[in-house]
Chain A
Amino acid sequence: MEAVNTYRSGPDEQGHFGMFGGRYVAETLMPLILELEEAWHAARRDPAFQAELDHWARHYIGRPSPLYYAERLTQHLGGAKVYLKRDELNHTGAHKINNTVGQILLALRMGKKRIIAETGAGQHGVATATVCAKVGLPCVVYMGETDIARQAPNVFRMKLLGAEVRPVTSGSRTLKDAMNEALRDWVTNVDSTFYIIGTAAGPHPYPELVREFQSIIGRETREQMMEAEGALPDALVACIGGGSNAIGLFHPFLDDPSVAIYGVEAAGHGIESGQHAASIAGGRPGVLHGNRTYLLQDDDGQITEAHSISAGLDYPGIGPEHAWLADSGRVKYVSATDKEALEAFQLCTRMEGIIPALEPAHALAYVTKLAPTMDKDKTIVMNMCGRGDKDVFTVAEALGVSL
């Protein structure tokens, strides 16, 4: 791995982060991807676009989200001070809205008349349906049948918001298959349709633009930590499915060597069980959904099914920038099992009165290991990227409680 002066300059013009990323899409989509790239570069330089984004962030999403000192949790763990970046307090209950607001504004700029999206846990689907309702554009959300069954409340929310939820019955009937189906829709409706991808993955420029829309998390955290502690945090922790909340928190800190950074993958029943969603720990580089990244796959290059109790982490890949950050060593990727996440879920609920989504419960599970190993004058910021209302049925079932 070659030495780099900065970890924040990627991707290159071809959309590569080192060997990862790129634009591995069908020819039909290629002109659209180039058109999107052009529109995105124009928008990010346009002060009017930035002003509009800021306005929505403040008045619609409810930003800035608080940086909250989790005092009892800190005392319980007996080490570093634990701060939670409260992105679960955003409108629609997760970080996903940061990205859908950015992309819908881009879609409007491009004159697109129809929006499609894929969703796993339903959070991105809800966030997309929400912005579509606000601007009055028709919205189709592709969702795997398996996920529809385990995330019924979010399915109903999307429908209330006026979106059409199309069940995906191919493959493993989860997030990756929903993404395949969204790509098939896009290839068919190229003129009218804008595809709002929910995570920092897919063909260039998606990983970059999603990261930029989510980086507001890290930028706010920097300011808020300076205000609260007069110093940058010593460690950052975030969960990784595709990795958009994590890259949003991490990116503004990548060039601060004093900040240790941890991404937490979903280990499902344990990495050794083979039933997990940890692409870095248990996968190898491959090409899927428009980019090269770490993928769960067999020897023949066939994509294998991911498993996690959290529908939002149940994806056999990871954003390409994370793949690059893993290989470069800047970010350390660890994992937490279903069981550890469930324990952290209950701990946070009881200790702080905050019901986390199962996704950030994975991050919290790692915080419970990390904090006790650090001195009491050190600080950790964990991204509380979603709230757990959507997960109460799943958790009840896992705990053997019938509602």
Chain B
Amino acid sequence: MSETRIDRRFAALKKEGRAGLVAYVMAGDPDLETSFEIFRGLPGAGVDVIELGMCFTDPMADGPTIQVAGQRALRAGMTLRKTLDLVRRFRKEDNDTPIVLMGYYNPIYAYGNEVFLADAREAGLDGLIIVDLPPEEDSELCLPTVKAGLNWIRLATPTTDAKRLPAVLANTSGFLYYVSITGITGSASADAGVVAKAVERLRAKSDLPVAVGFGIRTPEQAADIARVADAAVVGSAFCQTVADSLDEKGRAKPDCVANVLALARALGDGVRGARA
């Protein structure tokens, strides 16, 4: 598989001697245009890799904050097709920042796997994180994704034991996403010391960069993770900031985009200062 934007970004981070900031935002939340303004503003606010959430009616691994963000996007008429349109628009002005789609399988399956992969590649997408496709179902979408030249990014969790780790690492590329807790998104964060040990365990078996997520909300927590991992992933905190920036009718207030980007800047500073 040839080098992707994700590979290049993590190589650059390594050269800089710092960890990266991965931001998860829900595509289409709270509406298409506000969501695009957030999306395009993230790289300038210090985000190194963007995870774009695909809304789904039944997000079984997500906590309330991301559930509600997905419902806002659905109510605003978001679809997978429109999500790919956002990626296309983004690529017109930024050809370097890696974009990973994250979500559940059914919307892709309904789109048609082959057609989706062709459209995703053409739109300028770099990788996929599909929560409900474990290695046991690799023939479904993982192998076609790798064949299409996109990164398949897998989640490793505290329940991924030594026996299972090789299966999780197989066919994974770009980076490995370590879920620091057993639980749903937006839960309490894990202790950095415990995370450090888990990351060491993964690094012993893989050369892939390790990003750590679930439960990271503040610049301090992001800095703690940045000291032990290759990237810190923040999701629910961004979705919560959107939620806090809506008027009583659920519309974006004028400072919605600025609030989200301010959080990105603070988190980015935390990550950048971590190893100083």
Contact = CB atoms under 8 A, between A and B. Distances in A.
B79 A184 contact: no
A2 interface: no
B106 A25 contact: no
A124 to B, nearest CB: 18
A188 B58 contact: no
Interface stretch (A212-220, A283-291, A356-364): A283-291
A176 B58 CA distance: 8
A301 B154 contact: no
Contacts of A26: 60-61, 131-132, 134, 155, 157
A303 B184 contact: no
Contact of A27 (B58, B62, B134): B134
A31 interface: yes
Contacts of A170: 64, 67
Nearest to A286: B106
B156 A286 contact: no
Which size bracket describes the interface of B in this complex? 35 or more
A42 interface: no
B134 A23 contact: yes
A287 B159 contact: no
A254 interface: no
Given A23-B137, A27-B168, A180-B60, A190 B182 contact: yes
B108 interface: yes
B136 interface: yes
Interface string A200-244: 000000000000000000000000000000000000000000000
B259 to A, nearest CB: 25
Given A287-B106, A301-B107, A188 B187 contact: yes
B57 interface: yes
A299 interface: yes
Interface in A294-313: 295, 297, 299-303
A349 interface: no
A170 B182 CA distance: 21
A27 B155 CA distance: 7
Interface string B61-96: 111100100010010000111000000000000000
Nearest to B68: A170
A274 B133 CA distance: 30
Contacts of B158: 28
Contacts of B108: 301
A32 B187 CA distance: 20
B164 interface: yes
A300 B104 CA distance: 12
B56 to A, nearest CB: 7
Interface string A20-34: 001111111111100
Nearest to B55: A302
A300 B168 contact: no
A25 B104 CA distance: 10
A398 B160 CA distance: 51
Given A14-B136, A286-B110, A28 B58 contact: no
Given A288-B58, A288-B106, A303-B106, A30 B182 contact: no
Shortest beta-carbon contacts, A-B, top 7: A301-B110, A301-B107, A188-B183, A28-B157, A301-B106, A300-B79, A303-B57
25 contacts: A14-B136, A23-B134, A24-B132, A27-B168, A28-B155, A28-B158, A28-B182, A28-B183, A30-B134, A180-B58, A183-B61, A188-B182, A287-B105, A288-B58, A289-B58, A290-B132, A295-B106, A297-B106, A297-B110, A300-B80, A300-B81, A301-B80, A301-B111, A302-B74, A302-B106
Interface of A: 14, 22-32, 170-171, 176-177, 180, 183-184, 187-191, 286-290, 295, 297, 299-303
Given A27-B154, A177-B58, A287-B109, 19 more contacts: A25-B132, A26-B157, A27-B157, A27-B159, A28-B158, A30-B134, A30-B159, A170-B67, A171-B57, A171-B58, A183-B61, A188-B184, A286-B106, A287-B105, A289-B58, A300-B110, A301-B106, A302-B74, A302-B107
